[in-house]
Amino acid sequence: MRSDARLTTALLLVGPAALLGGALAFEYLGGLAPCEMCMWQRWALLAALALALLAWATGHGRALLWLATLAVLTNVGIAAFHVGVEQHWWKGITTCAAAATVGSTAELMSEIMAAPLVRCDAIAWSLFGISMAGWNALISSGIAGLALWRLTR
């Protein structure tokens, strides 16, 4: 793998990994449970990370790097949409959701009552007036922009 491709691969490995690490730190250390759209963003970042890891492992993955960049851009779109929902510029396309469980009615009711209710239109944390989804969109835009620049030169 050429050195410029290695740098692009490193960018697409470290960037999404850092964003996912930050999200997990907010969840497990900060106690901020993610909403459904937050989870969608994590899936896009995981896809980018997996594709970049595959490109790194194979040693020749220009197409994989393009796909990883596309996954980061998908994350940008989801995060930007989430910001719009948080700012009440438009309605979200989701309702509060929880994974289905199996068990008795009493166990199911206990699980439902204990689960945190996390709204996608409520800002749980912000810095300088920018929510986590906003920071995700900004940082991911930078990662995707730099990756696109490196891939097209």
If one compares 97 and 152, the residue with the highest pLDDT of the two is: 152
pLDDT value at 4 more than 90:
no
Q: Residue 17 in contact with residue 49, Cβ under 8 Å?
A: yes
pTM for this model (two decimals): 0.79
What domains sit in the chain, N to C, each tagged with a CATH number?
3-152 (1.20.1550.10)
**In contact, 125 and 30? CB cutoff 8 Å:** yes
Closest Cα to residue 123, out of 114, 132, 115, 112?
A: 132
Whether the Cβ atoms of residue 146 and residue 47 lie closer than 8 Å to each other: no
Task: Give the model confidence (pLDDT) of 91-124 as tens digits.
Answer: 877 655 555 556 777 777 777 666 666 777 777 8
Nearest one of 81, 84, 79 to 42, comparing CA atoms? 79
pLDDT digits (tens, 9 = 90+) for 18-39: 999 999 999 999 988 888 888 9
Confidence (pLDDT) at 100: 53
